[in-house]
């Protein structure tokens, strides 16, 4: 939705300033889906708002608390829902792989009883057996 090409390298805008443009693009995408007879379940999408701050010795990711923002979408019945937003270090499973904007790739495997095990704790052969 929000592309790197939208941010000129000399721009002084922070990530928080991008919320309006991102929301407009999200609304346009949702509108295209509805126009073609489709819809998304608001329970499935998630998003990240990534920006950095200089903390003295290094750059750090800004948190959701430092950059409050929401994206919304309508369900198939027209009810508006707030989409789930994650911190930059939160890995989420997409296309079978857990990834996060900060490069973290540790995910989890949910057992039949609902307990989660971090995938990094499985041996290679155990991961193959579980098809992780």
* Residue 106 sits in the same domain as residue 79: no
Residue 98's domain comprises 91-132
The listed range with the strongest mean pLDDT (7-21, 73-87, 107-121) is: 73-87
DSSP single-letter state for residue 62: P
* Residue 47 sits in the same domain as residue 103: no
* Residue 51 sits in the same domain as residue 101: no
Residue among 125, 95, 86, 93 nearest 109 (CA)? 93
H-state helical runs in 6-51: 19-35
* Residue 65 sits in the same domain as residue 52: yes
pLDDT at 39 over 80: no
* Residue 70 sits in the same domain as residue 95: no
**pLDDT value of position 21:** 75
pLDDT category of residue 85 using cuts at 50, 70 and 90: very high
pLDDT at 40 over 70: yes
SS3 call for 127: helix
- What average pLDDT is seen over the chain? 74
Domains of the chain: total: 2
* Residue 46 sits in the same domain as residue 106: no
**pLDDT value of position 132:** 54
* Residue 51 sits in the same domain as residue 114: no
């Amino acid at each position: 939705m929000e592309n790197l090409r939208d941010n000129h390298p000399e721009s002084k805008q922070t990530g928080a300033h991008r919320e309006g443009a991102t929301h407009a693009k999200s609304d346009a995408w949702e509108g295209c889906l509805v126009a073609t007879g489709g819809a998304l379940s608001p329970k499935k999408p998630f998003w990240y708002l990534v920006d950095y701050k200089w903390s003295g010795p290094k750059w750090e990711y800004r948190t959701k608390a430092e950059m409050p923002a929401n994206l919304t979408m309508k369900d198939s019945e027209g009810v508006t829902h707030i989409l789930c937003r994650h911190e930059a270090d939160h890995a989420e499973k997409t296309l079978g792989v857990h990834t996060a904007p900060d490069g973290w790739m540790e995910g989890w495997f949910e057992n039949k009883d609902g307990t989660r095990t971090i995938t990094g704790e499985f041996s290679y052969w155990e991961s193959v057996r579980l098809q992780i």
